[in-house]
């Protein structure tokens, strides 16, 4: 199990809240972040590595994806 953090991003771009996410994969962490209830953008981090940005309410596109074990910008 890896330890991730879901950081809620305020309208000024600063983190306003942090929620721990413990799961097995980056993909699972992103899916759980999409279900975070406060309706703001979320950044998912694992240590000092940003995994993904999830837009408000999980309705938008994730800006990065995992390919060949690496985080890459989504095309």
Task: Name the residue with tokens 């992103």.
Answer: 30
Show me where the domains of the chain are located: 2-73
pTM of the model: 0.71
> What pLDDT score does 11 carry?
84
Mean per-residue pLDDT, 64-74: 76
Burial of 14-46, coded b for 16+ CB within 10 Å and e otherwise, reads eeeeeeebeeeebeebbebbbebeeebbbbbbe
pLDDT at 59 over 50: no
Q: What is the pLDDT of residues 2-53, one digit of tens each?
A: 999 999 998 888 999 999 999 999 999 999 998 887 778 999 999 999 999 9
Rounded CA-CA distance 69/61 in Å is 20
**More confident site: 8 or 75:** 8
């Amino acid at each position: 199990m890896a330890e991730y953090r879901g950081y809620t991003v305020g309208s000024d771009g600063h983190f306003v809240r942090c929620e721990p996410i413990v799961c097995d994969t980056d993909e699972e962490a992103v899916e759980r972040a999409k279900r975070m209830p406060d309706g703001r953008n979320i950044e998912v981090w694992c240590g000092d590595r940003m995994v993904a940005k999830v837009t408000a309410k999980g309705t938008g596109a994730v800006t990065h994806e995992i390919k060949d074990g690496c985080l890459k910008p989504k095309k």
